[in-house]
Amino acid sequence: MAVFEKKLKVGGTRTRKRDIPSGLWLKCNDCGEMIFSKELTSNLKVCPKCEYHFSMTVSERIASLADHGTFREMDADLVSVDTLNFKGVAAYKDRLKAYQRQTGLSDAVVNGLCRLNGHDVSLAVMDFSFLGASMGAVVGERITRTIERATGLRIPVVIVSASGGARMYEGILSLMQMAKTSGALALHAKEGLPYISVLTHPTTAGVMASFASLGDVILAEPKALIGFAGPRVIKETTQQELPEGFQTSEFARDHGLVDAVVHRKQLKTTIGLLLDYFSGRGKRKFKAAG
C-alpha cells in the first residue's frame, strides 16, 4: 500500500531517515494530521482524527467482512491475456506483470465463498491498487462467476466495488463485461435472490454503469467518489455548472442512487442485518420479540 511507504516528514530537515522506521507514520489525505500506521490499521483504515476512509487491500476488506477463517477463494486460475498486443506507453503484458508483483494479486478482483454473520454468501472484492481496478475480461468473468455461483447455490451476492472503469488495454472485450455481468445479475434477480452492492472510493465509469449500480440494496462508504464520467467531461457535454460535491456518496444517497452511506465500522453489521431480513431470519427474530 503506497500510503504506508511515505516517509515521516516531521521534526524538520534534521530528522534522519534511519532514526524513524519507514511507514511508521503517515499523513491523512483529508485532515492532514499525522497518524500512527498501526493505529490506522487497527481502526479498519479509518482516520481516527477525521473519519476519512483510506483504501483497503483485498485481504483487509475480506477480513473485515467474512466470518473468521471462512473465505475460500474461487476462480484464481483465470489470467488476463493481451489479445490486442497493446503497446502504448507501456506494453499491457508488462504492466500486468508489474502490478501482479506489486500487489501480490493476479488481477483487480478477488472472489469466493464465505460466511458473513452466519450467512453463506458469494463475495467479490475489487482492489483499486491493481491497474485502477479496471474491468477487463478476467475481472468481468470473476464477477460473473461470483453471481452465477450464487444463483446456482441460491445464496446472496455481495460485491465490494472500486474502479476507474473499463480496461482500455482490452478494448471491446472489456466493454462486453458490462453486459455480461448485468445479464448474470438479471438471472440472479429472476430467481428472487438478493444482491448487495457496496461502493467504495472511487467507483466510476463502466463498473458504476453496470453491476455496481444494480444492487437490490446499494451501500456506499462515506465521501467516496461515485459517478460515470469525470466532472470536466460532464461540464463540457451539458454546458452547465455542476453542483458542489455532486459525485460523492452523500450526494448520490440524497438523490436516490445510493440507499445508505455506511461507516466502515458498521458495514459488516449492516450487511448482516440486510441478509437476516432477506433470509427471513430477521422476521422470525422480530416476531419472537413481538
Left if phi > 0, otherwise alpha if psi is -120 to 50, otherwise beta: which for 114? beta
Give min distance, CB of 28 to Zn ion, in A: 3
Nearer to Zn ion, 30 or 250 (CB): 30
* Shortest CB 270 distance to Zn ion, Å: 23
Least distance in angstroms from the C-beta of 51 to Zn ion = 7
Closest CA to 179 of 132, 221, 137: 137
Which phi-psi region, left, alpha or beta, contains residue 245 (left: φ > 0; alpha: ψ -120 to 50)? left
Q: Smallest distance, Å, CB 27 to Zn ion? A: 9
Taking the least distance from each CB to Zn ion, the nearer of 3 and 78 is 3
DSSP state of 70: -
Nearer to Zn ion among residue 42 and residue 102 (C-beta)? 42
Contact partners, residue 240, CB within 8 Å, separation at least 6: none
Q: Which is nearer to Zn ion, 30 or 82 (CB)?
A: 30
- Return the number of the residue (45 or 142) whose C-beta is nearest Zn ion: 45
- DSSP for residue 242: P
Q: Between helices 137-153 and 171-190, what is the axis angle to 10°?
A: 10
Cis upstream peptide for 202 (omega within 30°): yes
Supply 261's cell numbers. Answer: 452511506
Q: How far is the CB of 129 from Zn ion (least distance, A)?
A: 20
Smallest distance from Zn ion to CB 240, Å? 33
* Cβ-based nearer residue to Zn ion, 47 or 66: 47
| E strands, the chain, in order | 25-27, 34-36, 72-74, 109-116, 119-126, 157-163, 195-204, 217-220, 226-227, 260-261
- Residue 268 Cβ vs Zn ion, minimum distance, rounded to whole Å: 22
Residue 28 or 56 having the CB closest to Zn ion: 28
**Continuous segment of H or E residues that includes residue 100:** helix 92-103
Alpha-carbon torsion angle 39, 41, 44, 48, nearest 10: 30
Between 52 and 195, name the residue whose CB sits nearer to Zn ion. 52
C-alpha span between 3 and 20 (Å, rounded): 16
DSSP per-residue letters across 119-188: EEEEEEEE-TTTGGG-B-HHHHHHHHHHHHHHHHHT--EEEEEEE--B-GGGHHHHHHHHHHHHHHHHHH
Binding site for Zn ion (CB under 5 A): 28, 30-31, 47, 49-50, 52
